[in-house]
Structure 1
Amino acid sequence: MFGMNGMDPSSMAQMLMSAERAPLDGLLRSQRSQLSAQKEAYGQIKGKLQALQMAIKELTSGTGLSSQSVGFSAEGYASATVKAGAANADYQLYVKQLAQSDQYSLALDENWTVPTQGVLDITLDGQTLSLDLSTLDSASGLTGLRDAINQATDNSGVQASLVRADGQTHLMLTGSKTGASQAMTINLGGGNGEAAFTELQTAIGNKTQLASAQDAVIELGGAGGLQLSSTTNTFDGQIDGLNLTVSKAHAQDEFGNYTDAPLGLSVATDQAAIEESLKGIVDAYNALVGEVQKHTQSKEGSSAALSGDSMARGLLGRLRGTLSNPPDGVSLAELGIKTDRYGKLSLDTAAMARLQESRPGALEDAFTGAGGLLTRLEADTKPYLDRNGTLVQRDRSLQSGLDRIADRQEALDSRMNKVYQRYLGQFTRMQTLAQQMQQTMSMF
């Protein structure tokens, strides 16, 4: 309510205080808006850079750039993976036999006890497990013998187990490794003629061989073709660039002739896999370029949040520098990567196919090899995204700036409150004085 002289001290004090603080409020508001916009812009850029880093990691740390695939004419015989340097080719092969380990069965009575004397020797791959039977508990029987074999410190790969059938217990001795070199020999000596020793000796003499140690063998080119062997069921690198694992042998008649058609194996460029593998990288890179351009390129009538900030442009410049410098001996165009005038990428899968056809493995090496483009791009992102990386430090710096503005705003509010109280006091005294003067004049 206005006083008698028409002046409201509170409104007058508020008006003068507001006029005094308006330019300071405007300055703080402008600074806060600018720093907030920069912080938000760098947050969005960081998100796009993290997406690019993740896309690269998924490719470089996973199965790699799958530019070739393997096909078989029939299922169940084999599987394969392609490695760098594999040539596109077609093969015919037979799986003659699978790799096996030696396995023997020793038939003993269920109530057999361990003899008080004797030494059991089991030799495998030139290493002998020598077990002194006198050190075992006689009453432990077959279970004790099995455990002693499995737990022996000089056991180089013999696995013992028990199988019970038709009132007898069979001690199964199996080699842990496959291959023709893994043949097993079993000998018993040093006994004193006791029945338990004789029974074990008889079981060893009458042992049944359930499986014979042998290499895996394939015939490349069909029956009678080039014979390849492996101590395991995996043929790694014997066919250049292929890791082949066999799982079933081809059937043969009584004369050793194959009864089925040979297995066809085809190595071919997988264009769909190439495009799919790299599309995520290209999309993530283009999203980053678009985000940086949005925040650094001003439009008519408005200024971009990072228009005067060189860090974002420096980030793009670093990545573009890496892309413009592919590994020696191959150009970016040969790799199937095209760049438009805005700096964004697109795929040319036809060019990729030509390179893969003419130089198998070159595409993988150029992208994911030790000095490949993606390997170097991933290295480029680390200084920005590490725990104390450039973008993290910039975010902290911008937040510190916002915190300082908040402190200045708080100090301004406190100071302007004092200014208001000063003006209020002055106008209140003026109003009181005016009222006293009016009262004095009314007496005359």
Structure 2
Amino acid sequence: MAITSALGLGSGIDINGLVSQLVRAEGQPALNAINRQETSVKSRLSALGTLKSALSGFQAAANKLKDGGLFSKHQAATANDNIATAQASSLAVAGSYSLKVTQLATSHKLITGGVGYSGYDAEIGVGELTLSVGGAAFSVNIDDTNNTLGGIRDTINRAQDNTGVTASIISVDEGYKLVLTAKDTGSANAISMSSTDSGLADLADNMQQQRPALDAIIEVDGQVATRGQNSISDVIQGVTLDLKTADPDTVFDLDVSVDSKAITEAANDFVKAYNSLMSSVKNLGKFDAETQAAGALIGDSTLRMVQSQIRSEISRPVDSANGDLNSLALIGITIDRNGVMSLDNSKFSEILDGNLGAISDVFSSDQGIANRLSERLDQYLKTGGVLDSRTKSLSQQLKGFETRRENVQVRLDNLESALLKQFIAMDTAVGQFQATGSFVAQQLALLNS
């Protein structure tokens, strides 16, 4: 009877279909509400991620201008890069110099003189061989395991106390020759080789100078400077000169100046990052009357706070800067009525060339805009900050939606079970009434016959 009733055979009703429809009608509003809320939370989470990304980009741009080193950064350029190039550090001071490269530094090189040896395995002798580089000596022991030309080369190169010489072998028309080259340039790194042992002494005495050990000689503003290397960083403070070739007859200019290009690029990046941030803020909080579409954070208090506080930091004068040039607007960075920031390159460059300190103070002094912004932005972006707390709260809400769905499903399962019992009972009663009716009809028919 239970199976027959479940199929609706007693009443002719599709009990399973009817119960499913009733359960679905009961549960769908609750599930729809959960889905809407979940979609809203996911949308806000995504929007907070977009806002955080824009804030991080703006903070990175502000931090470049926060670093006072940017405003002390210099560039160096020579009028003849074929002779020498130059680089400037933060220690450099703006100025112009005349430069002449009289001589390049060279590394000392010795080579076997006269007729060379018959090959790599030509036997030389045994004993002790002493080499000196700039007066710093080391010795190698030569025995019957390494007493060939190749063996001596390898032993010199592998010596742990080698003071700065590299040995090699070249094969030329005159035979195989040993070549000794100082690892460092300059007269202080001249090589010598000696031995008191037969064979080795012949090798040492036969070494001839192939290239002298020379110092670099330059003239800066007519003053001579001699150094042991071709990269010179201690003649002009904060400037490294890399010598390329010697040309005693050519005098050329070296200019050291503030790296205006780097500062202007940083200022332009700041403007772009601000506009990108404000565009994101606008899109996240806007409402389109035509499409009725709303931003994911429309009416959000955090979004309004971010917009208001950053605009305040941007527009507020800098107390630690010069009174005549103590704001972004006064150095050429303005915001129009649509909230778009722009940089007047002409005005900015003019102030940069004539009053670098003013621009530096506006951005990087104690109360400078970049310092204020960095501190403010950190409140939003740091772990435990405003955005982090909001994100964690919304993430926690997301986890709760699945639990709510499970609770709704348990309630619907219980409802389905209860409805099935009720309809089965009804179907059973209807079946019984139909059976009784058929019996009564049969009996009446018999009486009338």
Q: TM-score, normalised to structure 1's length?
A: 0.72
Deviation, 1:42, is: 1.8
Q: CA deviation at 1:182?
A: 2.7
Contact 2:116 2:175 in 1 (8 A): yes
Structure 2 residue 315 is the aligned partner of structure 1 residue 306: no
178 and 329 in structure 1: CA distance in 2 versus 1, 3 angstrom threshold: farther
Task: Indicate the residue corresponding to 1:288 in structure 2.
Answer: 277
1:29 matched to 2:11? The reply is no
2:45 counterpart (39, 44, 68) = 39
Q: Count the aligned residue pairs.
A: 422
Match status 1:210 vs 2:211: yes
1:412 equivalenced with 2:401 (yes/no): no
In 2, Cα distance between equivalents of 1:10 and 1:139: 99
CA distance in 2, matches of 1:376, 1:244: 39
- For the 8 Å contact 1:105–1:210, the answer to whether it is kept is no
The 3 A distance-change label for structure 1 pair 113 and 57 is: farther
Does the CA-based 8 Å contact 2:185-2:213 persist in structure 1?
no
The aligned runs of 1:53-92 (5 Å cut-off) are 70-84=76-90, 86=92, 89-92=95-98
8 A Cα contact 2:131 2:193, kept in partner: yes
Q: How does 1:92-103 map to 2 (within 5 A)?
A: 92-103=98-109
Is 2:167–2:178's contact at 8 Å kept on the other side of the alignment? yes
Deviation at residue 18 of structure 1 after TM alignment: 5.3
Task: Supply the AA of the counterpart residue of 2:242.
Answer: T
Show the 5 A alignment for 1:148-163. Answer: 148-163=155-170
Larger Rg: 2
Larger displacement relative to structure 2 (369-378 or 89-98): 369-378
- Higher deviation after alignment, 33-42 or 277-286: 277-286
Q: Quick one: distance in 2 between partners of 1:173 and 1:380?
A: 63
What's the counterpart of residue 397 of structure 2? 401
Whole-Å separation in 1 of the counterparts to 2:211 and 2:103: 16
**Residue number in structure 2 paired with 1:346:** 342
Alpha-carbon distance in 2 for matches of 1:364, 1:86 = 17
Q: Distance in 1 between matches of 2:179 and 2:352?
A: 52
Q: Secondary structure at the match of 1:140?
A: coil
- Whether the 8 Å contact between 1:41 and 1:295 is mirrored in structure 2 is yes
Structure 1 position 199 matched with structure 2 position 202:
yes
2:54 paired residue among 21, 31, 48: 48
Q: For residues 47 and 130 of structure 1, do their structure 2 counterparts lie closer, same or farther at Cα, with a shift above 3 Å needed?
A: same
Tell me how far 1:240 sits from its aligned partner. 4.5
Deviates more, 1:15-24 or 1:29-38: 15-24
Distance 2:212 2:309 in 1: 62
> 1:434 offset after TM fit, Å?
5.4
Structure 1 unaligned segments of length 5 or more: list them.
253-257
How far apart are the structure 1 equivalents of 2:317 and 2:169?
Answer: 65
Select between 10-19 and 172-181 the one with higher mean Cα deviation.
10-19
Question: 2:422 is matched with which residue: 423, 426, 430?
Answer: 426
* Structure 1 counterpart of 2:139: 130
CA change 1:146–1:359 in 2 (3 A) is: farther
Structure-1 separation of matches of 2:46 and 2:57:
17
Change (3 A) 1:293 1:308: same
Matched to 1:146, the amino acid is R
**Alpha-carbon distance between aligned partners in 2 of 1:105 and 1:318, rounded to the nearest angstrom:** 74
What is the CA–CA distance in structure 1 between the aligned matches of 2:283 and 2:108, rounded to whole Å?
69
Matched, 1:231 2:234: no
CA distance in 2, matches of 1:401, 1:291: 24
For residue 218 of structure 1, what is the amino acid of its counterpart? I
> How far 1:296 moved relative to its partner?
4.5
Cα distance change on mapping 1:171 and 1:356 into 2, 3 Å: farther
Superposed CA RMSD: 4.8
1:219 paired to 2:219: yes
Residue identity in the other structure for 1:219: E
Following the alignment from structure 2 to structure 1, what is the Cα–Cα distance between the partners of residues 214 and 412? 95
* Partners of 1:231 and 1:362 in 2: CA distance: 42
Does the 8 Å contact 2:217/2:226 carry over to 1? Answer: yes
Identical positions, percent: 26
TM-score calculated relative to the size of structure 2: 0.72
2:126 to 112, 116, 120: 116
Question: Which blocks of at least 5 consecutive residues in structure 2 are unaligned?
Answer: 1-6, 445-449
User: What is the one-letter code of the residue matched to 1:242?
Assistant: V
Deviates more, 1:370-379 or 1:48-57: 370-379
The answer as to whether partners of 1:114 and 1:138 remain within 8 angstroms in 2 is no
Supply the distance in 1 between the matched residues of 2:227 and 2:167 (Cα, whole angstroms): 25
